[in-house]
């Protein structure tokens, strides 16, 4: 009853694989990968098959993209496997069936990961097109696919384990992402670090990584099976509210005290008196009742895991290698991308799921009061949690003299993080207004934020490596631009003396045409580079790295010794455009939400 006769596996496969999104996702995924390979395909007329750096870079980028996408999609498929049963009130019936807990877990896990397995192996023909270019062996491709398969299985098991500990998919999905992303980043950095050492990469992919992933997978599988065999949450379907004080008495690790600072900033105590006049009842209800009605387990795990990862990053980026401080800001932004939507994506969908949205709109509370009460309640929690990771930025300015000359840039980092907090909360609330289910609203918010924040820098890296740099190579050497060698260029630059005046004039015309072509390539590459920078104004990651940062010598090396004041101020211009773009985006989304509430968008069923 584990594979062939597992009813859980058969039911989940029939339901999931017959949905339209399975085919749409496969088509979109393969089309995107095919477009990446087509655009990045080497443009030279001749390619060195024995040592093709372009082909190796293309294959590495291909696998890195698949690894990142699989890491992001694994929790979205697996984090709701068991919490979905709890939300549908079928959890107890599933546990009362004759199925063993291990069979339930295996069926849920395989059914959730079958989408990713299809996506991964359908991309094999595309990557095989890159192998004949040289620079990468067939065994490296097999090792990469093995590492990718092992990673997807492990990330899926982590998500299923989180799903067994929480009552709602939102909490399970958030904790899964928070645990998986550091592991995914470590794997990506390790893959890039071993790019020039194929033997070590093969050893890690074939021996070290499968063993480590197998141990973690087995431990999580056994722990989840024991939890289903002796479930502590049976009967939880009727328990809509968790007693926070009782939970704190039995909490392991961090304890949240609602009457103490700074805990009361993000988790105020429940109101035990009458509500004062003039206060927004929606905001007060959300902060004191709704946000933590299911307990604070998810919140405590988020705080502990984020601080556990942040402490070594603070030591590395702020004190050991101060020029890398913008990368710590990127970690804070990544944390807000995960946490920000969680506290806002269910603000309106929860009213729909409880069928209380119509009653809310029939009260004397205006749509604007409802929306800002919902928005600021989630924004307050996510901002306070994010600012726990921001205070080292200001602390470093006091303790390390290196940052005294970059104080304005450090303040700009705080501004960028603050704007990101507002954007993530607003986008998530807008998704909550549009969709009916919390899980759909949360995934849509994550997708929109990824497009706004992560896609522009990814496009910039891709364009720089495969479009701009190949066009800039050889601008000072006419022969290098079309793939010829230095020897050929030397032979062409020392031609025989023309015998006639006509031949001399023909050579001059060819030289002018070649120079014109090189200048056109240079202008085209610069235009593409400028377009990528304009796209980056929506991404706080791009803006953080665009700001001038470092000592005078480091900035001179970055901008060039002859940099003009306009070039030196380019980062501040990008910051100004980012602030303007963020303000327009948030105001537009708020205006749309108010209009949708005024026309009673999706109120009745």
pLDDT band at 157 (very low <50, low <70, confident <90, very high): very high
Contact 590, 566 (CB under 8 A): no
Query: Would the pLDDT of 482 be above 50?
Result: no
Of 381, 403, 405, nearest to 393 (Cα)? 403
pLDDT at 445 (0 to 100): 92
Query: Would the pLDDT of 480 be above 50?
Result: no
- 94 CB-contact burial (10 Å; exposed 0-12 / middle 13-18 / buried 19+): middle
Place of tokens 């068991």: 82
pLDDT at 497 (0 to 100): 52
DSSP one-letter code for 389: T
Contact 8, 99 (CB under 8 A): yes
Whether the predicted model's global pTM rises above the 0.85 cut = no
Instruction: Rank 147-151, 314-318, 531-535 by mean pLDDT and report only the highest.
Output: 147-151
- Locate 585 and state its tokens: 């985006």
Q: How far is CA 495 from CA 41, 178, 479, in A?
A: 33, 63, 13
pLDDT at 246 (0 to 100): 60
pLDDT at 463 (0 to 100): 77
Torsion angle of alpha carbons 453, 397, 386, 285, nearest 10°?
Answer: -130
pLDDT at 556 (0 to 100): 47
State how far the Cα of 163 lies from the Cα of 78, in Å rounded to an integer.
8
Least confident segment among 34-43, 321-330, 343-352, 393-402: 34-43
pLDDT at 218 (0 to 100): 93
Concatenating the DSSP letter of every residue in 136-177 gives S-HHHHHHHHHHHHHHHHHHHHHHHHHHHH-SSHHHHHHHHH
Mean pLDDT of the region 197-220:
86
Least confident segment among 45-49, 170-174, 364-368, 415-419: 45-49
Q: Cα angle vertex 514, ends 510, 518, to 5°?
A: 170
Q: How many CB atoms lie within 10 A of CB 562?
A: 7
pLDDT at 215 (0 to 100): 93
State how far the Cα of 26 lies from the Cα of 16, in Å rounded to an integer.
13
Contact 206, 146 (CB under 8 A): yes
State how far the Cα of 183 lies from the Cα of 510, in Å rounded to an integer.
55
Q: What is the pLDDT of residues 253-288, one digit of tens each?
A: 667 777 777 777 777 877 777 888 888 888 888 888
Query: Would the pLDDT of 252 be above 90?
Result: no
Concatenating the DSSP letter of every residue in 333-377 gives HHHHHHHGGGGTTTTTHHHHHTT-HHHHHTSS--HHHHHHHHHHH
State how far the Cα of 302 lies from the Cα of 321, in Å rounded to an integer.
27
Q: What is the pLDDT of residues 414-436, one digit of tens each?
A: 999 999 999 999 999 999 999 98
State how far the Cα of 128 lies from the Cα of 458, in Å rounded to an integer.
23
pLDDT at 428 (0 to 100): 94
State how far the Cα of 204 lies from the Cα of 210, in Å rounded to an integer.
8
State how far the Cα of 168 lies from the Cα of 86, in Å rounded to an integer.
8
Contact 58, 195 (CB under 8 A): no
Query: Would the pLDDT of 97 be above 70?
Result: yes
Q: What is the pLDDT of residues 555-595, one digit of tens each?
A: 544 444 444 455 557 788 889 999 999 999 999 999 999 99
Contact 33, 65 (CB under 8 A): yes
pLDDT at 253 (0 to 100): 63
Mean pLDDT of the region 339-352:
89
Q: How far is CA 502 from CA 401, 505, 509, 513, 515, in A?
A: 68, 5, 11, 17, 20
Q: Which long-range contacts (CB under 8 A, 24 or more apart) does 288-293 make?
A: 290/350, 290/377, 291/267, 291/343, 291/377, 291/378, 291/381, 292/244, 292/267, 293/240, 293/241, 293/242
Per residue, the 3-state secondary structure of 168-237, as one string, reads CHHHHHHHHHHHHHHHHHHHHHHHHHCCCCHHHHHHHHHHHHHHHHHHHHHHHHHHHHHHHHCCCCCCHH
Greater confidence, 247 or 528?
A: 528
pLDDT at 299 (0 to 100): 79
Instruction: Rank 250-254, 515-519, 596-600 by mean pLDDT and report only the highest.
Output: 596-600
Greater confidence, 372 or 77?
A: 372
Contact 524, 467 (CB under 8 A): no
DSSP one-letter code for 536: G
pLDDT at 3 (0 to 100): 67
Q: Cα angle vertex 180, ends 178, 186, to 5°?
A: 115
**How big is the chain by its Cα radius of gyration, in Å?**
28
- Local structure of 575: helix, strand or coil: helix
- C-alpha 540: how far from chain center: 13
């Amino acid at each position: 009853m584990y594979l062939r006769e597992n009813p859980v596996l058969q039911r989940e496969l029939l339901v999931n694989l017959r949905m339209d999104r399975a085919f749409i996702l496969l088509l979109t995924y393969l089309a995107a990968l095919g477009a990446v390979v087509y655009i990045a395909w080497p443009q030279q007329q001749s390619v060195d098959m024995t040592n093709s750096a372009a082909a190796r870079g293309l294959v590495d980028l291909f696998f890195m993209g698949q690894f990142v996408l699989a890491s992001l999609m694994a929790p979205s498929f697996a984090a709701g496997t068991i919490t979905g049963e709890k939300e549908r009130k079928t959890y107890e019936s599933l546990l009362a069936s004759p199925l063993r807990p291990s069979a339930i877990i295996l069926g849920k896990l395989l059914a959730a990961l079958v989408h990713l397995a299809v996506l991964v192996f359908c991309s094999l023909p595309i990557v095989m097109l890159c192998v004949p270019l040289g620079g990468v062996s067939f065994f490296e491709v097999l090792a990469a696919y093995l590492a990718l398969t092992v990673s997807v299985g492990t990330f899926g098991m982590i998500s299923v384990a989180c799903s067994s500990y929480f009552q709602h998919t939102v909490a399970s999905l958030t904790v899964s992402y928070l645990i998986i992303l550091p592991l995914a980043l470590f794997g990506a950095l390790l893959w890039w670090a071993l790019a020039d050492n194929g033997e070590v990469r093969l050893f890690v992919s074939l021996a070290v990584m499968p063993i480590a992933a197998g141990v973690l997978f087995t431990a999580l599988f056994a722990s989840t099976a024991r939890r289903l065999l002796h479930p502590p949450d049976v009967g939880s379907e009727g328990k809509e509210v968790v007693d926070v004080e009782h939970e704190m008495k039995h909490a392991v690790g961090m304890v949240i005290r609602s009457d103490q600072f700074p805990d009361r900033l993000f988790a105020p105590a429940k109101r035990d008196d009458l509500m004062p006049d003039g206060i927004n009842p929606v905001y007060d209800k959300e902060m004191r009742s709704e946000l933590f009605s299911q307990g604070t387990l998810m919140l405590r795990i988020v705080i502990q895991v984020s601080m556990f990862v942040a402490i070594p990053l603070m030591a590395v980026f702020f004190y050991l290698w101060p020029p890398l401080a913008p990368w710590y800001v990127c970690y804070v932004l990544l944390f807000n991308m995960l946490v920000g939507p969680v506290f806002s994506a269910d603000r309106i969908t929860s009213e729909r799921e409880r069928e209380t949205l119509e009653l809310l709109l029939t009260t004397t509370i205006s749509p604007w009061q409802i929306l800002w009460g919902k928005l600021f309640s989630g924004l307050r929690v996510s901002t306070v949690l994010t600012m726990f990771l921001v205070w080292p930025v200001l602390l470093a300015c006091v303790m390390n003299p290196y940052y005294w000359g970059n104080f304005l840039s450090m303040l700009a980092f705080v501004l960028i993080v603050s704007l990101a907090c507002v954007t993530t909360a607003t986008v998530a609330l807008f998704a909550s207004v549009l969709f009916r289910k919390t899980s759909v609203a949360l995934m849509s918010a994550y997708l929109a934020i990824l497009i706004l924040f992560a896609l522009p820098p990814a496009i910039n890296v891709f364009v720089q490596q495969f479009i701009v740099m190949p066009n800039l190579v050889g601008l000072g050497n006419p022969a290098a631009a079309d793939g010829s060698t230095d020897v050929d260029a030397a032979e062409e630059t020392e031609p025989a003396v023309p015998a006639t005046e006509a031949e001399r004039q023909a050579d001059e015309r060819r030289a002018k045409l070649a120079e014109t072509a090189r200048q056109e390539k240079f202008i085209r590459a610069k235009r593409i580079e400028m377009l990528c920078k304009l796209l980056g104004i929506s991404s706080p990651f791009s803006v953080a790295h665009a700001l001038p940062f470092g000592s005078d010598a480091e900035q001179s090396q970055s901008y060039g010794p002859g940099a003009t004041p306009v070039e030196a101020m380019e980062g501040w211009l990008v910051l100004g455009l980012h602030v303007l773009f963020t303000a327009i985006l948030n105001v537009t989304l708020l205006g749309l939400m108010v209009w949708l509430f005024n026309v009673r968008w999706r109120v009745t069923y």
